[in-house]
């Protein structure tokens, strides 16, 4: 069924993505052809070294010129081939980037991308109930961030509602980034060139480590020993010194390296863990630095990086130190040379000096890129859903929505409903039969509120909301290990929601099947007591129920409460639901009919 309430078709972004895929496939085909040619050339130029050496072996000068020339040609061929392979990789990554976009547009995104489950905590007021994290979650739908910082920032925005001024600033930034399809592609193809596993937090852990090698004594000793080794070799060759001076210096170098062995190993281990995250951070900073921005929030992020040597250039310096250090440790041809001239110590010292010098700057870099990536994620969502508006932020307590839909449901299954919880009205009691849509309504409201307070567009034709504290009680679980029953767990959660309502910001509560774990009398009395307490504290929200006696509460609360319901019909022996909210109390229950449909005669 078509999403009948969409103002604009999502076909436009789908066309753009499909065109980009076609273009990148053609580019990949061309690079594949070139790679085949230059790959063959790489093999042939390598073999040519031996052929030329054989053909020119008659005279020394011809042999030298021929072999050196052949090696140069071989090295140039390698460089060109590597660039072509890199272009191949980028084209393939671009195709994957746009295919992921098509998955989201075609409602096939569940199971693809980060789940964010590491941020799911059981005691959060609404995260578990509303599917914020996990497979098929809101986080998985939204998140395109490459770094742990970007993913953590987006998760934080979903878990902790922003103030109105922050939300408005994010709206402006997202609007500016919305149409930047090329920018999102440039970020989307970034991967660690070494294909190393990303370790969330590894970079900050490395930065916070105590200094291992910053004293001037060790690099000074290394430079003196390295020069002495070079001088002793020259003296042996030219001045007849013999090998004794060289042997003594080699022994001294062994002692120095042995004294620093544990520190050098620690530096290698720390750098190896943090390198992939650092590499991606450098790519992102370089892209971010070259962009110009108009919205205040993006301008503030750019100003955080300061002037002068930009962070990407600073990280490029560190990368040179790291690559040299790794070659000194792992390259069998270079390692002996590096040991002889004590370069290993000098490279390690350079890494540690950089770390100590930039220690205060790096948290700002991480915060900037994390925020930028979170904004890029939300701008992609805004671009792919042009019919989704930004919410209108109101000062008076309210929640008004026209054609609200569940953001995680496929477009062809998303049924919209209108809601108005404003003025004196503080409570909607939602009655209805099993599977009729009561819980889905609560999650539709809750997820759109989360999107609103994170700064994102919402699935609605129009959405007005005051700044609220969201709290829910929907998926209550007992705990055998903790000795907690379902009923006890529910009243514990209700107490937490009541406690939240003492804050200045009004609570928006979503209570599903309130107190259904006890008898009807206690449920009715207890539920009314909880609801009256919440309303007295300026809270407002929704309560779903099967108990029609609880629906009578709306009559006693007058203008503060309203009854609505969802219903079903039995058509040709099947239960049919329209998922449309209607006024009043549900006129019938379908529990017995469902039991009979499943073969339970009652």
Residue 130 lies in a domain: no
Predicted confidence (pLDDT) at residue 479 exceeds the cutoff of 80: no
Q: Are residues 399 and 534 in the same domain?
A: yes
Give residues with Cβ within 8 angstroms of 552, minimum separation 6.
none
Range in 164-168, 238-242, 583-587 the model is least confident about: 238-242
Q: Are residues 433 and 309 in the same domain?
A: no
Q: Are residues 304 and 396 in the same domain?
A: no
Predicted confidence (pLDDT) at residue 596 exceeds the cutoff of 70: no
Range in 170-174, 268-272, 510-514 the model is least confident about: 268-272
H/E stretch holding 490 reads helix 486-500
Beta-ladder partners of 429: 543, 563
At 177 the pLDDT is: 96
Query: How far is it, in rounded angstroms, from Cα 328 to Cα 170?
Result: 46
Give residues with Cβ within 8 angstroms of 517, minimum separation 6.
476, 485, 486, 487, 490
At 483 the pLDDT is: 45
- Count the neighbouring beta carbons within 10 Å of the beta carbon of residue 72: 11
**161 falls in which pLDDT band (50, 70, 90)?**
very high
At 9 the pLDDT is: 42
Give residues with Cβ within 8 angstroms of 293, minimum separation 6.
176, 299, 301, 302
- Residue written as token pair 């002692």: 255
Query: How far is it, in rounded angstroms, from Cα 496 to Cα 493?
Result: 5
Residue 343 lies in a domain: yes
Q: Are residues 589 and 484 in the same domain?
A: yes
H/E stretch holding 510 reads strand 507-511
Between residues 395 and 58, the one the model is more confident about:
395
At 72 the pLDDT is: 94
Residue 227 lies in a domain: yes
**200 falls in which pLDDT band (50, 70, 90)?**
low
Section 408-433 average pLDDT: 92
Q: Are residues 349 and 407 in the same domain?
A: no
Token pair of 402 as six digits:
């026209």
Predicted confidence (pLDDT) at residue 309 exceeds the cutoff of 60: yes
Name the phi and psi angles at 508, rounded to 5. Answer: -105, 110
Q: Are residues 414 and 368 in the same domain?
A: no
Q: What is the pTM of this model?
A: 0.85
From 376, 409, 427, give the residue that closes a domain.
376
* CATH code, domain with 532: 3.40.50.300
Q: Are residues 580 and 455 in the same domain?
A: yes
Beta-ladder partners of 398: 422
Q: Are residues 372 and 404 in the same domain?
A: no
Give residues with Cβ within 8 angstroms of 140, minimum separation 6.
109, 110, 111, 112, 113, 114, 115, 116, 133, 134
Our CA angle for 317, 323, 327, nearest 5°, is 150
Give the pLDDT confidence of 243-273 residue by residue, as tens digits.
788 888 889 888 888 888 888 888 888 887 7
**597 falls in which pLDDT band (50, 70, 90)?**
low
- Residue written as token pair 């590894």: 202
Residue 212 lies in a domain: yes
From 106, 140, 160, give the residue that closes a domain.
106
Name the phi and psi angles at 529, rounded to 5. Answer: -65, -45
Q: Are residues 398 and 365 in the same domain?
A: no
**4 falls in which pLDDT band (50, 70, 90)?**
very low
At 5 the pLDDT is: 37
Find the domain containing 90 and state its range.
1-106
Residue 284 lies in a domain: yes
**589 falls in which pLDDT band (50, 70, 90)?**
low
Range in 157-166, 278-287, 567-576 the model is least confident about: 567-576
At 8 the pLDDT is: 42
At 236 the pLDDT is: 76
Residue 269 lies in a domain: yes
Give the pLDDT confidence of 62-111 residue by residue, as tens digits.
888 888 999 999 999 999 999 999 999 999 999 999 999 999 999 999 99
At 588 the pLDDT is: 66
| DSSP code at position 134 | S
Section 345-368 average pLDDT: 87
Query: How far is it, in rounded angstroms, from Cα 309 to Cα 43?
Result: 41
396 within 8 A of 423, measured Cβ to Cβ: no
Query: How far is it, in rounded angstroms, from Cα 413 to Cα 362?
Result: 46
At 508 the pLDDT is: 96
Residue 352 lies in a domain: yes
Token pair of 210 as six digits:
């105590």
Domain count, the chain: 3
Q: Are residues 334 and 418 in the same domain?
A: no
Burial class (CB in 10 A: 0-12, 13-18, 19+), 181: middle
Token pair of 110 as six digits:
């569940």
Give residues with Cβ within 8 angstroms of 347, minimum separation 6.
321, 324, 325, 328, 338
Predicted confidence (pLDDT) at residue 308 exceeds the cutoff of 70: no
**208 falls in which pLDDT band (50, 70, 90)?**
confident
- Residue written as token pair 């809101």: 138
332 within 8 A of 402, measured Cβ to Cβ: no
Section 22-41 average pLDDT: 95
Identify the CA nearest to 361 among candidates 247, 521, 204. Answer: 204
Identify the CA nearest to 600 among candidates 244, 370, 317, 591. Answer: 591
Burial class (CB in 10 A: 0-12, 13-18, 19+), 510: buried
Give the pLDDT confidence of 545-559 residue by residue, as tens digits.
877 778 888 889 999
Give the CA distances from residue 576 to residues 50, 411, 417, in Å, rounded to whole numbers and listed in that order. Answer: 80, 19, 18
Rg (Cα) of the chain, in Å, rounded?
33
At 220 the pLDDT is: 87
Residue 177 lies in a domain: no
Query: How far is it, in rounded angstroms, from Cα 277 to Cα 197?
Result: 9
Contacts made by residues 114-120, CB under 8 angstroms, sequence distance 24+: 114/139, 114/140, 114/143, 114/145, 114/151, 115/139, 115/140, 116/140, 116/143, 116/151, 116/154, 116/155, 118/200, 119/152, 119/155, 119/159
Token pair of 98 as six digits:
């746009």
Mean pLDDT of the chain: 86
At 179 the pLDDT is: 93
Section 306-333 average pLDDT: 82
Predicted confidence (pLDDT) at residue 148 exceeds the cutoff of 90: no
Token pair of 445 as six digits:
């409201």
At 194 the pLDDT is: 44
Between residues 232 and 376, the one the model is more confident about:
376
Name the phi and psi angles at 583, rounded to 5. Answer: -75, 150
**475 falls in which pLDDT band (50, 70, 90)?**
confident
At 573 the pLDDT is: 64
Q: Are residues 330 and 372 in the same domain?
A: yes
Spatial strand order of the sheet with 417-422 comes to 392-394, 462-466, 398-404, 417-422
From 376, 408, 432, give the residue that closes a domain.
376
371 within 8 A of 153, measured Cβ to Cβ: yes
Percentage, residues of the chain above pLDDT 90: 47
What is the SS3 string spanning 399-451? EEEEEECCCCCCHHHCCCEEEEEECCCCEEEEEECCCCCHHHHHHHHHHHHHH
Instruction: Provide the 3-class DSSP secondary structure of residue 566.
Output: strand
Range in 197-201, 340-344, 397-401 the model is least confident about: 197-201
Spatial strand order of the sheet with 582-583 comes to 469-473, 507-511, 540-545, 427-432, 561-566, 582-583
Token pair of 525 as six digits:
């009395």
Predicted confidence (pLDDT) at residue 135 exceeds the cutoff of 90: yes
At 376 the pLDDT is: 97
Q: Are residues 308 and 409 in the same domain?
A: no
């Amino acid at each position: 069924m078509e999403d009948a309430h969409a103002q604009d078709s999502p076909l436009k972004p789908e066309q753009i993505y499909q065109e980009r895929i076609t273009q990148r496939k053609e580019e990949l085909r061309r690079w594949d052809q070139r790679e085949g040619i230059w790959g063959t050339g790489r093999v042939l130029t390598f073999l040519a070294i031996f052929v030329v050496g054989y053909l020119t072996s008659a005279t020394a000068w011809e042999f030298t010129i021929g072999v050196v020339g052949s090696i140069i040609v071989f090295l140039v061929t390698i460089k060109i081939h590597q660039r072509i392979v890199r272009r191949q990789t980028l084209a393939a990554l671009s195709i994957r980037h746009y295919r992921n976009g098509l998955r989201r547009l075609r409602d096939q995104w569940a199971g693809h991308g980060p789940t964010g489950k590491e941020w799911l905590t059981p005691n959060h007021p609404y995260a578990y109930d509303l599917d914020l994290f996990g497979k098929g979650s809101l986080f998985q739908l939204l998140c395109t961030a490459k770094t742990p910082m970007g993913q953590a920032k987006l998760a934080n925005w979903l878990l902790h509602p922003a103030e109105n001024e922050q939300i408005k600033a994010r709206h402006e930034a997202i609007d500016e980034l919305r149409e930047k399809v090329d920018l999102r592609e440039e970020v989307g193809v970034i991967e660690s060139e070494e294909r190393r596993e990303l370790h969330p937090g590894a970079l900050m852990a490395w930065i916070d480590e105590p200094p291992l090698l910053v004293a001037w004594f060790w690099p000074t000793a290394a430079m003196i020993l390295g020069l002495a080794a070079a001088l002793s070799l020259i003296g042996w060759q030219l001045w007849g010194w013999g090998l004794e001076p060289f042997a003594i210096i080699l022994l001294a170098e062994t002692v120095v390296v042995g004294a620093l062995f544990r520190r050098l190993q620690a530096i290698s281990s720390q750098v190896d863990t943090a390198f992939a995250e650092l590499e991606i951070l450098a790519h992102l900073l370089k892209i971010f630095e070259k962009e110009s921005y108009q919205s205040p929030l993006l301008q503030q992020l750019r100003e955080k990086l300061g002037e002068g040597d930009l962070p990407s250039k600073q990280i490029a310096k560190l990368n040179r130190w790291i690559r040299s250090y790794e070659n000194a440790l792992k390259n069998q041809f270079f390692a002996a040379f590096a040991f002889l001239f004590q370069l290993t110590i000098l490279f390690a010292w350079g890494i540690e000096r950089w770390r100590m010098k930039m220690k205060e700057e790096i948290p700002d870099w991480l915060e900037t890129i994390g925020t930028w990536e979170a904004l890029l994620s939300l701008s992609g969502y805004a671009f792919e859903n042009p019919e989704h508006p930004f919410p209108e932020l109101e000062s008076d307590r309210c929640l008004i929505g026209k054609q609200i839909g569940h953001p995680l449901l496929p477009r062809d299954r998303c049924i919209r409903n209108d809601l108005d919880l404003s003025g004196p009205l503080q409570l909607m009691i939602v009655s209805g039969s099993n599977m009729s849509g009561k819980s889905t309504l609560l999650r539709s409201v809750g997820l759109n509120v989360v999107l609103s307070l994170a700064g994102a567009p919402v699935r609605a034709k129009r959405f007005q909301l005051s700044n609220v504290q969201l709290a829910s009680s929907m998926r209550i679980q007992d705990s055998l290990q903790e000795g907690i029953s379902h009923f006890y767990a529910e009243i514990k959660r209700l107490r937490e929601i009541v406690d939240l309502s003492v804050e200045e910001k009004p609570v928006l509560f979503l209570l599903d099947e309130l107190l259904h774990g006890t008898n009807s009398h206690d449920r009715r009395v207890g539920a009314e007591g909880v609801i009256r307490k919440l309303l007295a504290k300026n809270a407002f929200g929704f309560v779903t129920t099967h108990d029609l006696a609880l629906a009578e509460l709306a009559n006693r609360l007058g203008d503060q409460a309203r009854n609505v319901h969802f219903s079903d019909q039995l058509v040709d022996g099947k239960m049919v639901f329209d998922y449309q909210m209607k006024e009043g109390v549900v006129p019938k229950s379908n529990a017995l009919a469902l039991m009979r449909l499943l073969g339970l005669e009652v």
